[in-house]
Structure 1
Amino acid sequence: MASATQELDVFVREALLRGHGREEIGQALVAAGWSREQADSALASYADVTFPIPVPRPRASLSAREAFLYLVMFSALYFTAYNLGSLLFKLLELALPDPADPTYRQLQLDHSMRWSIAAVTIAFPVFAWVSRLVSRELARQPIKRLSPVRRWLTYLTLFLASCILVGDLTTLVYNLLGGELSLRFVLKLLVVGAIAGSIFGYYLHDLRREETEA
């Protein structure tokens, strides 16, 4: 695959060097079996400027610092989302107690709630601070939006959020068909859906905005 990509890049450079137009090159690549996206990506590697030879655009590179920031940011996001959901679950259990639950389980809520509150209190500011730092760097250097680790973690987040949403809706329909819905159960499903849906919507909007600006 790397060899094919290199051949495509060499072909585009040679074609531009010989004075062929971008649309003409793109049509030739599509006719040869390359996808339109591959052709556009290869052409986008060279700036559309007037110069005797093709001028390459700057490409995103992966640095250890950049990988560290994204790993910290997304890890803090996952940790915050999980513990926020856990905290809201426990608040619902306190507000709508189940008579079938043994007493010792109710007593354990205090300890687990303190852990969830502490986790959200620490993890969310870390996520917000690193996210702001990354946003500033992207504003200064838009090319960093093409960072491989950023794209992989963003799509991984979208995948996880979509899986949770599908599972959430499946559980709702399953229990609805069985006639086993309770208010506490429905509220818990809404909590999961709201957290996963917010994360999915935010990063999907971010990707679409990036495509529009590109």
Structure 2
Amino acid sequence: MKPADQLAAFVQDGFRAGHSAEELRDALGRAGWSDPEIDSALAGWSDHGLRLPVPRPRPSLNAAEAATYALLFFALLSVTWNVVALSFWLIEIWLPEPDSRSGYGTARSMRWSIAVLVVVLPLFLWLQARTDRAARANPGERRSPTRKNFGAVTVFLAALVLLADAIAVVFAFLNGDMTLQFLLKAAVVALVAGLIIAWFRSFLADD
């Protein structure tokens, strides 16, 4: 039996025997269990004075939910990548630099990004609305480990992009390569990453 299962069984039996949470905490502490382990075990049950352990809701894994969030993550990456790429090309057209090159390749790439956005953006918006509706209809969805992992990975990657963007700006300044075109591109990256962090950090909250 795993240590976590041992603790869960002990806490359940302790509540059934009429012991309080503090009594169980003291007994487990004297037995050598750490405070985080004790807190986790006690958090799974409540007595409410019933002399009967009442299970608290716990996160659960769901294959369909995992597939939905995986598709949502793919759609998010596709949308953000192509929004940024399209913004870069438009900036280069509006603010060309002396040594810049544009032509058929750029036009073809812009058409590809537009095509991706036309197809994937509605999918992303639909998936986002679907997960939001599910979370509103059932608050227990907010405890989903899949939802939290999706939010954590998304916010983490967006934070890394912000950090890399800031490093690139500082490097360009020190290297004497700072131009208006570069600053606008850096601003686009920072804006997109900041919006992602602001929106998806709510996925890390329980309610």
Distance 1:61 1:176 in 2: 49
Residue 147 of structure 1: aligned partner: 144
Residue type of the alignment partner of 2:144 = S
Distance 2:26 2:165 in 1: 45
Deviation (angstroms), 1:51:
2.7
Distance 1:97 1:30 in 2: 68
Residue 199 of structure 2: aligned partner: 202
Against the structure 1 CA distance between its residues 136 and 53, is the aligned structure 2 distance closer, same or farther, given a 3 Å change threshold? same
TM-score of the superposition, structure 1-length normalised? 0.84
Structure 2 unaligned spans of 5+? none
Distance 1:145 1:26 in 2: 28
> Is 1:161 the equivalent of 2:158?
yes
Against the structure 1 CA distance between its residues 83 and 3, is the aligned structure 2 distance closer, same or farther, given a 3 Å change threshold? same
Q: 1:93-113 deviations in whole A, cap 9, x for unaligned?
A: 1101122123xx333221111
> Is 1:133 the equivalent of 2:130?
yes
Q: Determine if contact 2:161/2:193 at 8 Å carries over to the other structure.
A: yes
Deviation (angstroms), 1:16:
2.1
Residue type of the alignment partner of 1:144 = E
TM-score of the superposition, structure 2-length normalised? 0.87
Q: Determine if contact 2:172/2:178 at 8 Å carries over to the other structure.
A: yes
- How large is the RMSD of aligned CA atoms in angstroms? 2.2
Corresponding residue pairs, total: 206
Against the structure 1 CA distance between its residues 173 and 53, is the aligned structure 2 distance closer, same or farther, given a 3 Å change threshold? same
Residue 5 of structure 2: aligned partner: 6
Q: 1:146-179 deviations in whole A, cap 9, x for unaligned?
A: 2222222221112211111111101111111222
Distance 1:15 1:176 in 2: 64
Distance 2:38 2:121 in 1: 41
Distance 2:34 2:198 in 1: 32
Q: Report sequence identity in percent.
A: 35
Distance 2:34 2:128 in 1: 37
Against the structure 1 CA distance between its residues 47 and 176, is the aligned structure 2 distance closer, same or farther, given a 3 Å change threshold? same
Residue 96 of structure 1: aligned partner: 95
Q: Indicate the larger mover: 10-19 or 173-182.
A: 10-19
1:117 counterpart (105, 108, 114): 114
Residue 20 of structure 1: aligned partner: 19
